Structure 1
Amino acid sequence: MNRRHFVAVAMALAASPVIPAFAAAPPPMRTRWNVIESEGYDAIAFLGALSGQELYRHYYAEDADVFAATLPADIRTDIPRLAQQAETESFGLLWPVLANILSGAGITSLRSVIDALADPEGRVAPAFRRNPSREESDFTWLARHSQRLISVFRAMQAADFAGFRRKRLGTAFAARIAEVTNGLARYDVVQWQEKLTGRSFDPVINVVLLAFSKPHGAKMLDQTFLQAADYDVATTVRIAAHEMLHPPFPMDGEAAKAALAVLARDPLIPRIVREHDPKWGYTTLEGMLNEDICEALDQLISEALGVARNPADRWRKADDGIHVLAGGLYGLLREDRWVETGGNLEQWIAAAARSGRLGPKMLHAAAARVLERPVDRLWPLPSG
């Protein structure tokens, strides 16, 4: 399975005017929010800024320049090489995928990152191989480059990354954790996820606040995700609504295979997968389906909770407009009044594949209505 779908770059975009919540009496609260922080995950996330990629320097150029000056020259030059190799060798975006693979190894401090990398088979593999979204090639890549990564993180430790991070977060960080916890208390994301997928979820959602994670909201093992500490509560709810859904149903199951077979014959969706900028991830049709059905569902959940962005604005601004499939799936789910009825999502996707609703005629028409674009010009977006 392609795991690049874990990376939800669009979650970092500024909110558009929200859509009012549905006025139904709420059921008993299912969601329990656990808001924490992690020096270890922040060290992993800071690889993005240290890689020199504009995607991250847009947010952290000054931080990266100051801290990089404290690192040995060979480490400064190897981090960009690692990031480039990760993408060209199909590992994906370096820091989000690395964080996900290590997330079963008890990542707390920078020391814990080094310890996990020093013993991939003992500390990382057990949890990794229980992960339904695992790709064995990712673990192979990690094991092959583990000594280089250890050298990077040891250099960061020697340069006092922990102190640098504490200064960046400031003395009010504990209060920020409490503020986010209080703000989330009324948002029952899990109840909506269960209703719209037909699956059961653990009621606990772990939110890890970081200093250096923009622009990503990144899914870890189980019900844990990483996000920037300064995101507002509405953004946190949207990230949680999205990230916990991955995968929306078994991507090696019959329903997914049927949907992928239909989409593979679409003249547009596979072209988007092939031709879009790979920095956004989603470089396989399976990865795009996984991501975009989650985006369609999280849009419905966000609307129900009163924190949604306008869907046309959202999918125009996100990732160069590549999520046409999300718009189409969202439109079909809206036609079926899915937010009111709920049900088994895997059965819904199988039925949509059988009935022809995932074919270009119906899917593109639904996307055009949602995205407010002509049906014959859904992608790429017009320049300017």
Structure 2
Amino acid sequence: MNRRTFLAAATAAGLALPLRPLWAQPASATDWRVRESEGFDAIAFLGPLSGRDLYRRYYAADADAFAAKLPADIRTDIVALWQEAEPAVGLFWPSLTTFLSGIPLTSIDAVIAALADPERTVRPSYQASSYWDADNWAWFAKTAPRIRRVFEAMRAADFSGFRKARTGELGPRIGEVQRALAGYDVIKWQRKLTGRTFDPAIDIYLLQFSKPHGVKVQGQAFLQAADYDVATTVRIAAHEMLHPPVPMDGPVAKAALATLGKDPLITRIVREHDPKWGYTTLEGLLNEDMCEALDQMISEALGVARNPADRWRKADDGMHVLAAGLYGLLRQDGWAEKGGSIEAWLGAATRAGRLAPAVLHPAAARVLERPADALWPVPKPTD
């Protein structure tokens, strides 16, 4: 499974609401729908309970307090499930949301009920989605009884009460985010820069335990931390709705992958980067980095963008060199101004040799503001 997660900037926890961009139009193509979900939060809490530093930096105290209520064998199996999931389907809790998100997950009870008979409750929506993968499903179906026991133990330890004590009342925050998003027409820009159709509705689930991820799930929906500022929400939406940017099993993507597969730098990044970030296949990296290139342009148009050099230097140990290169090429072509079919653009760029190192690396270097022969790993600052 190509992990469709967006790692939000560490500075995203502020609650300040950005001003509506002056060029935003009253009639928006985007219908924002903001809500919460105890079920998704229960799944996300498997991150902190795994003991991984990526999650403990945000939730160490919560994880320690709740883990003490769980049986020792359940705590051990959570760690084992993470280890088994990564080579099979990717990061454990984001992958679970992909499988389960086709059904309402209003509570931990709903998660447990779905896992009792996944062939009947989970498979129909998952198989009908763009994320269907027979091998991934085989792993999930085999593992579902173990996963269900974990959630049963969490229910017995009163996860619902534990979460409520920490979230407080999310209603005011939901309303605040809903109102602030009204001026940001993400769907209009996604349609323009991809040439694809998008449903107007975007569903956002505000969670307590999801940092540092923003996760795309089935449909036009994603998960994010409740205390992220609205600029971060817009950036996550601009990114997550794009997956996949082109059909990854189609001839255009395959031709691009064949070219990138000959690039020593890009293949080295796939092979040697820290696997905790995901994107451990070339296909997964192309999927992610095309979305990042496009979301950067959308964020710029909406007035919520980060500096691209800073963004891609800091994110995921600087591994998204391909995103910077694709973004640089799209900027050269004036893509934000004219838009069109991104699949047609990728096909033309591949045929013209623009994805080869001689063109792609200099384009990335201009964006990243460092030499083409020092794109990755990111050079450490000198004193």
Query: What interval of TM-score do these two structures reach, taking the shorter chain for normalisation?
Result: over 0.9
One-letter code of the match for 1:90?
A: A
Matched, 1:86 2:85: yes
Tell me the SS of whatever aligns to 1:268.
helix
| Whole-angstrom distance in 2 between the partners of 1:255 and 1:373 | 30
| Whole-angstrom distance in 2 between the partners of 1:139 and 1:12 | 32
Among all aligned residue pairs of Structure 1 and Structure 2, give the percentage whose two residues are the same amino acid: 64
Counterpart residue number, 1:115: 113
- What is the aligned counterpart of 1:311 among 308, 312, 325? 308
Distance 1:24 1:356, change over 3 A: farther
| Whole-angstrom distance in 2 between the partners of 1:3 and 1:127 | 18
| Whole-angstrom distance in 2 between the partners of 1:119 and 1:90 | 21
Counterpart residue number, 1:42: 41
Contact 1:36–1:206, Cα closer than 8 Å, also in 2: yes
Counterpart residue number, 1:32: 31
Give matches, 1:137-216, under 5 Å: 137-171=135-169, 173-216=170-213
- What is the aligned counterpart of 1:103 among 101, 104, 121? 101
Distance 1:372 1:291, change over 3 A: same
Shift of 1:22: 8.7
What CA deviation, in whole Å up to 9, does each residue of 1:230-270 have, x standing for no partner?
00000000000000000011111111111111111111101
- What is the aligned counterpart of 1:254 among 236, 247, 251? 251
| Whole-angstrom distance in 2 between the partners of 1:28 and 1:148 | 48
Shift of 1:78: 1.1
Matched, 1:134 2:169: no
| Whole-angstrom distance in 1 between the partners of 2:262 and 2:81 | 36
| Whole-angstrom distance in 1 between the partners of 2:51 and 2:299 | 34
Shift of 1:20: 11
| Whole-angstrom distance in 2 between the partners of 1:76 and 1:269 | 37
- What is the aligned counterpart of 1:339 among 329, 336, 341? 336
Counterpart residue number, 2:73: 74
| Whole-angstrom distance in 1 between the partners of 2:20 and 2:173 | 26
| Whole-angstrom distance in 2 between the partners of 1:325 and 1:145 | 34
What CA deviation, in whole Å up to 9, does each residue of 1:150-175 have, x standing for no partner?
1110011011100110110013x210
Counterpart residue number, 2:365: 368
Shift of 1:115: 0.9
One-letter code of the match for 1:324?
A: V
Shift of 1:118: 0.9
Distance 1:237 1:230, change over 3 A: same
One-letter code of the match for 1:48?
A: G
Counterpart residue number, 2:356: 359
| Whole-angstrom distance in 2 between the partners of 1:315 and 1:21 | 25
Matched, 1:238 2:235: yes
| Whole-angstrom distance in 2 between the partners of 1:274 and 1:321 | 14
Shift of 1:135: 2.0
Tell me the SS of whatever aligns to 1:246.
coil
Shift of 1:383: 3.3
| Whole-angstrom distance in 2 between the partners of 1:185 and 1:270 | 41
Distance 1:351 1:208, change over 3 A: same
Distance 1:305 1:100, change over 3 A: same
Counterpart residue number, 1:3: 2
Tell me the SS of whatever aligns to 1:209.
strand
> What residue ranges of structure 2 are gaps of 5+ in the alignment?
13-17
Give matches, 1:278-293, under 5 Å: 278-293=275-290
| Whole-angstrom distance in 2 between the partners of 1:8 and 1:51 | 19
Shift of 1:27: 8.0
Counterpart residue number, 2:318: 321
Tell me the SS of whatever aligns to 1:129.
helix
Contact 1:260–1:286, Cα closer than 8 Å, also in 2: yes
Contact 1:312–1:370, Cα closer than 8 Å, also in 2: yes
Distance 1:21 1:305, change over 3 A: farther
| Whole-angstrom distance in 1 between the partners of 2:130 and 2:219 | 10
| Whole-angstrom distance in 2 between the partners of 1:218 and 1:179 | 21
One-letter code of the match for 1:199?
A: R
Q: Give the TM-score normalised by the residue count of structure 1.
A: 0.95
One-letter code of the match for 1:86?
A: A
Shift of 1:108: 1.6
> What residue ranges of structure 1 are gaps of 5+ in the alignment?
none
| Whole-angstrom distance in 1 between the partners of 2:256 and 2:342 | 12
